[in-house]
Structure 1
Amino acid sequence: MASVVEAEPFSNDPNRLWKEWFASGKRICKKIVAPVEFQEPIHRDKVRFVCISDTHEQLDKLLPHIPNGDVLVHCGDFTNTGDREELEEFNKAIGKLPHPYKIVVAGNHELGFDETEDQSQREEKFQGHGTKEGYKLLTNCTVLHDKMIEIYGVKIYGTSWHPLENFTYYRPRGNPLLDKWNLIPEGVDVLLTHTPPLGHGDLWKGEYRWGDVDLLNTIEHRVKPKFHVFGHVHEETGVTTNDHTIFINAAICSHDLEVINLPILFDVPLKPGFTKS
């Protein structure tokens, strides 16, 4: 039976925990190259995933550079404020892509998606923005939130919670956020979140660790997915591993919201009894 994950002491001080765990070598984080190169053909016995995140109303500019695959995943912040016009433009753009399956999780900028949000806590510039139940406008993709979907036998779970205050889907670090990670079932092959775990693709402005320690513990001690895809920290696009899970920060835009990165690809071998035909 998998270990029960309890809230980590000092969860509110990710920098301290990173120094204690990663800088000391107690936890593993190795930078690696992208699992699949763009020119590699799509295999009949493998499911090709194409990963993007944090396109911030720039998806149209990226379209010519997105390779085909079986599953496209977008890990949030496809808008800047979640307003209806932004959602309609994103839905139109993602509808142009040929991928048979398009899976999306919302980010902190998809204002209005989280019905539990205390909107009075938003920054002034975000007041009055967003679309209630805006995810219903996204008819050209499947939106996952605290939900799992199975494609070609591959189990994919998506969730949008994060620890950044004053935005939609915010929960404080510690037990409130861990309660959401505890909803992630075991047996997941591909985990999609908006926020990174501690230590993997989470360094903001070269100084602050934005990753969540309880998400890391959930991944390493209980769920143990083959892949974890996220975004949120624009400066840290790339791939790392702890020698079991491959972590992918798929952020596309720079902090200035310019398209500077390409999608990241990976393959999942088909399980016995499953085909893509």
Structure 2
Amino acid sequence: MEPHTSSSSIKTRFLVLSDTHGHDLPDYSTYRADVAIHCGDLTTGSKLEEFKSALKTLQTLNAPLKLVIAGNHDFTMDIPMFRKKVAEVTPPLEPALVKKEYGDYGEVRELFNETCQSGIVFLNEGTHRFTLQNGARLKIYASPYTPSLSDWGFQYHPETGHTFDLEKDTDIVITHGPPRGIMDTTYSGGRAGCPRLFEAIARVRPRMHCFGHIHEGWGAKLLGWRRKISENPSHFTDVDNGRSTVIGKLSQIKPNTQIIETSHCRGDQDPLEAGTQTLFVNAALEGTDDCPIHPLWQIDLDLPRAG
């Protein structure tokens, strides 16, 4: 892929996936990108062998930089929760059995450190900056946290909420779960997204926000923002529906589709206007019996030139 460049920006390709849950996936190595992003839930039961399998899959992705966050199923990476789960089991588990199945506390993070030469970077919550091989600058905010009443990893009570400290000029936000009201509808018809995450995104308006978690919400939408964001952002007051476009949704997937390609650079049909639009992507790969594996997303965006 030859990047399109101008004096101020560089066309950059992303491969985005989430919720692989240890599944055997298609061979995506023919699709080259500048950055691959995994939005969490690499595993189903957070077992050591599942992480090793997921890392092998990540190593096959054809991108020099592969950014990864955890999801609620990856609870052994949330060490306080991992300790809590082990302590609550009755009768007590044998330490040797825990180590065999799940690894020592912190062992999974060490596995990621060992794969850094493959371009795999595990992101803790917060802001991260990269200079890409294509010459672009990338500012990322990452967070694995999702609202829930259950007892998995990286979760918080919906009524308590969570603080998402996004900085201005953030290019891309990677979270495990969706914001409220955007590709977060569950099979039961309820909304599972986080209102505080939506508010944080509305205030910063990144170029792209990618996530997973709600498998049935797979899809993408280019959303327009109103010129002035209100003090307490909401869909009613701050979304410009006239400048919003659905890029893809679950009902549109054709059988045996492996990848969905979309480009929002200068000259494209739907160019993204930085600062006034955000591309939202639910990239959950795990599907249903009708569609066991959802397509991978391939996305082209203009990024600022480094330096």
Shorter-chain TM-score above 0.5? yes
Q: Hey, which of these two has a bigger chunk of strand by percent?
A: 2
Unaligned runs of 5+ in 1: 1-40
CA offset digits 1:183-231 (Å, max 9, x no partner) = 332221000000000111101105111101110011112x221100000
- Tell me which amino acid in the other structure corresponds to 1:172: H
Rounded Cα–Cα distance in structure 2 between residues aligned with 1:236 and 1:123: 33
Aligned to 1:109: 73
1:136 aligned onto 2:110: yes
Q: Give aligned-pair identity as a percent.
A: 28
Q: What runs of 5+ residues in structure 2 fail to find an aligned partner?
A: 6-10, 225-276
Aligned to 2:26: 62
In the TM superposition, what is the alpha-carbon distance from 1:178 to its structure 2 partner?
Answer: 2.5
Q: Name the aligned partner's letter for residue 241 of structure 1.
A: L
Q: CA deviation at 1:256?
A: 5.9
Distance across 2 between alignment mates of 1:229 and 1:253: 16
Evaluate the alpha carbon distance shift between residue 75 and residue 272 of structure 1 in structure 2; reply closer, same or farther with a 3 A threshold: closer
Match of 2:284 in 1: 251
Counterpart AA for 1:93:
T
Contact 1:62 1:259 in 2 (8 A): no
Deviations 1:108-164, CA, capped at 9 Å, x for gaps: 11121112324279899xx96644321221224111121313243111121100112
Q: Aligned-pair RMSD on alpha carbons?
A: 2.6
Matched, 1:119 2:152: no
Give the number of aligned pairs: 227
Q: What amino acid sits opposite 1:268 in the alignment?
A: L
Residue 43 of structure 1 is matched in structure 2 by: 3
> What CA distance in whole angstroms lies between the structure 2 residues aligned with 1:266 and 1:121?
43
| Alignment check: 8 A CA contact 1:189 1:226 kept | yes
Structure 2 residue aligned with 1:156: 140
Contact 1:66 1:263 in 2 (8 A): no
| Distance 1:257-1:107 versus aligned 2 partners, 3 A rule | farther
Distance 1:174 1:224, change over 3 A: farther
- Which secondary structure state, in structure 2, belongs to the residue aligned with residue 204 of structure 1? coil
1:42-92 residue CA offsets vs partner (Å, 9 max, x unmatched) = 53431101100111112x422247721110001011111111111111112
TM-score (norm 2): 0.67
**Matched AA of 2:139:** K
Q: Does the CA-based 8 Å contact 2:28-2:62 persist in structure 1?
A: no
Shift of 1:234: 0.7
The residue aligned with 1:34 is none
Query: Which of the pair has the greater relative contact order for Cα pairs under 8 Å at 6+ separation?
Result: 1
**Partner Cα separation in structure 2 for residue 61 and residue 82 of structure 1:** 18
- The SS at the match of 2:140 is strand
What is the alpha-carbon distance in structure 2 between the residues aligned to residue 199 and residue 190 of structure 1?
19
Match of 1:261, SS?
coil
SS in 1 for 2:50: helix
- In structure 2, do the counterparts of structure 1 residues 257 and 143 end up closer, same or farther at CA, with 3 Å as the change threshold? farther
- State the alpha-carbon separation in 2 of the partners of residues 158 and 42 from structure 1: 28
Question: Could you tell me which amino acid in structure 2 is paired with residue 249 of structure 1?
Answer: N
User: Based on CA coordinates, which of the two structures has the bigger radius of gyration?
Assistant: 2
